[in-house]
Amino acid sequence: MLDNGMIGIILEYLIVFIIIFIINYFLYVRKKKRLNKNKVPVELYYLVSMYKLDINKIKYKEFLWTYSFINTFIISTIYIIVVYLVEGFIWQLLIGMVLLILLIIICYGLLGRYYQKKEGIDNV
């Protein structure tokens, strides 16, 4: 935790974001070259079921990069908020869980709407 005020917090956010993104890349993106119906990420199942998307129309490699970026954003944002704005371990856990759920719903909701618009599916 850097103690240089706002610049320190932004720098720490960028460092954490880059480290987590690199870890995500080596664990998830680099290994998966093409769509394997048996090993599809849970996020893709969520998007397909919630937004009635066609799994074959989604570019899988592009999706891997996108979901890796979204997951990294969620983790980094929650880390910075919980560490710098919340006192007490129990409060950090509770607020972190609530933020996690909210950010997942918001970010993957936006991604689902993006894919709907890209596929030309109208909301019912």
pLDDT at 35 over 70: no
Q: Which domain holds residue 107?
A: 5-52+60-119
Q: What DSSP assignment string belongs to 13-58?
A: HHHHHHHHHHHHIIIIITT--S--TTS--HHHHHHHHHHT--GGGS
The total domain count for the chain is: 1
Let me know if residue 12 belongs to a domain. Answer: yes
pTM of the model: 0.83
Let me know if residue 65 belongs to a domain. Answer: yes
Let me know if residue 42 belongs to a domain. Answer: yes
At 55-92, the pLDDT tens digits run 888 888 888 889 899 999 999 999 999 998 989 999 99
